[in-house]
Amino acid sequence: MRHLLAWTLLAAATTLAAAPASPSTGANCPHLSTTWYGDNRAHLQQVIDERGTCSGPARHPVAVFDWDNTVTKNDVTDATLSWALRHDKLLRPARWKDTSAWLTEAADKALTKACGTGTPEPLRTSTNPRCTDEILDIRENATTASGAPAFAGTWNHRRTVPQYAWVPQLFAGRTPAELASYAREARTEALTAPIGATRTLGTHTVPAYVRYYAQQRDLIRTLQRAGFDVYIVSAGSEPITEVWSRGVGIDADHTIAIRSVLDRRGRITTWNQGCGGVPATRGTAIPYIDGKRCWINQEIYGVQGPAAWQRQPWPRRPALAAGDADTDVTFVGDATGAHLVLNRNKPELMCRAHDDADGHWLINPMFIDPLPRRTDPYPCSTTAYNAPDGSRGPVRREDGSVVPDQPDTI
């Protein structure tokens, strides 16, 4: 299994890794070189100094980053989907209903009417804005262009979200190599476009640019020089994320995202690999909220079966974790040294970050085009928590106490 080497080395170092070193032992550690908000750079440097191999040769710490809007500004899977729609790279399914286990009859009818069904020839989305609009509305809003729900049924809302799982499913019939080639074309295009650029796709206005955050690139490289194993865990498509992660020096073995099951000819199917004892399904257990913890535990630390869904002991958790959205709240909260959060006003994550229960939460505004300060407090005591059944509830600390509503101060 991928990443078992990291766990083998970590297990050997458990005794020494179980307690942080004193800050003075990190005198020879590499240092961050970019500007951060407030004292964040100093706190991050402290984690590097205390946990890195430069503080002790037996250490083998792990750092994990979400990708979209954490390492980059804007979503690279969406950028690839945009490029594919403009270049007719999606294949028409025999039945749209087969693309997702939760697709509604209303969505199936809307997609069939706008895009057709039949033989798997390329959809002419570059010249069919109605088809493009239906696909984008379902991806962005989980509704059809007319506003009807696109997904229905039962799923664990802390393990998956159908419209995230649906994007890799749209590329069924293509190979991972083909999808990676689309991602490379989209990457070149998005990095060339000016910051702030948009484009019209169907009748939608979507971002036309993506940028690597210089601060995150510097942090990742500094962590690597200090002996950290740095991983990406994303709810995007893995072949796409791998193309982009190479730009910050992270290889495919350290990139975890939605993994499509391939058919006998090596083509992407509408099925995804599972985690934590969940078999291959059409999207039941993707790297999403608690699913990110599962994939980290399984692929980095070698935890098998249902135990992968549970928080692990201190030595089997990342020293540093970074994210920007509620989908990241569980694994970012599992970190033992620093929980780095880019503020995109996502309630559950920001409630945890502002509550700062263990004193290790670091909040940073987005490095490009940061959001204005939220005027009303986050509803931590009432509706900020995303429950497995899709309902909303209060955010609770480990002792069961409710986190009070938190103002947006950063």
Question: Which domains are assigned to the chain?
Answer: 4-73+212-259+296-393 (3.40.50.1000), 76-207 (no CATH)
Interatomic CA distance for residues 121 and 125, integer angstroms: 12
Measured in degrees and rounded to the nearest 5, phi and psi for residue 170 equal -65, -20
pLDDT at 18 over 50: no
pLDDT at 1 over 80: no
Q: What is the pLDDT of residue 373?
A: 93
Residue 190 token pair: 């998005």
Q: Which helix (H) or strand (E) holds 386?
A: strand 385-386
Residue 392 token pair: 């909303």
Q: If you ran DSSP here, which 8-state letter would residue 376 be given?
A: S
Q: What pTM was estimated for this model as a whole?
A: 0.92
Q: What is the pLDDT of residue 20?
A: 41
Interatomic CA distance for residues 107 and 109, integer angstroms: 5
Residue carrying structure tokens 């931590």: 380
- Classify burial at 247, counting beta carbons within 10 Å of its beta carbon; exposed 0-12, middle 13-18, buried 19 or more: middle
Q: Which residue has the higher pLDDT, 339 or 55?
A: 339
Task: Report the pLDDT averaged over residues 273-285.
Answer: 97
Task: Report the pLDDT averaged over residues 33-54.
Answer: 95
Interatomic CA distance for residues 366 and 220, integer angstroms: 17
Residue carrying structure tokens 């650029």: 197
Q: What is the pLDDT of residue 13?
A: 37
Q: Which residues, 6+ apart, have CB-to-CB distance to 369 below 8 Å?
A: 73, 195, 196
pLDDT at 130 over 80: yes
Whether the CB-CB separation of 237 and 179 falls below 8 Å is answered with yes
Q: CA 12, 286, 232 angle in degrees (round to 5)? A: 50
Q: What is the CA radius of gyration of the chain?
A: 21
What number of CA atoms fall less than 13 Å from residue 379's CA on the CB side?
Answer: 8
Q: What is the pLDDT of residue 57?
A: 65
pLDDT tens digits along 210-260: 999 999 999 999 999 999 999 999 999 999 999 999 999 999 999 999 999
What is the number of residues in the chain?
410
The beta strand positions in 145-289, using DSSP E, are 198-201, 204-207, 211-212, 229-237, 255-258, 260-262, 268-272
Q: What is the pLDDT of residue 120?
A: 86
Measured in degrees and rounded to the nearest 5, phi and psi for residue 308 equal -65, -20
Task: Report the pLDDT averaged over residues 182-209.
Answer: 98
Q: Which residues, 6+ apart, have CB-to-CB distance to 48 below 8 Å?
A: 26, 29, 30, 31, 32, 222, 223, 226, 228
Q: Which residues, 6+ apart, have CB-to-CB distance to 154 below 8 Å?
A: none
- The β-bridge relationship of strands 338-343 and 320-323 is parallel
Q: Which of 325, 276, 326 is nearest to 302 (CA)?
A: 276
The model's confidence at residue 319, banded by pLDDT at 50, 70 and 90, is very high
Q: Which helix (H) or strand (E) holds 163?
A: helix 162-170
Q: What is the pLDDT of residue 58?
A: 61
Task: Report the pLDDT averaged over residues 342-361.
Answer: 98
Tell me which of 3-7, 388-392, 401-405 is least confident. Answer: 3-7
- Distances 28 to 49, 54, 320, 380 between C-alpha atoms, Å: 8, 6, 20, 41
Mean pLDDT of the chain: 93
The model's confidence at residue 60, banded by pLDDT at 50, 70 and 90, is confident
- The β-bridge relationship of strands 338-343 and 361-365 is parallel
The model's confidence at residue 117, banded by pLDDT at 50, 70 and 90, is confident
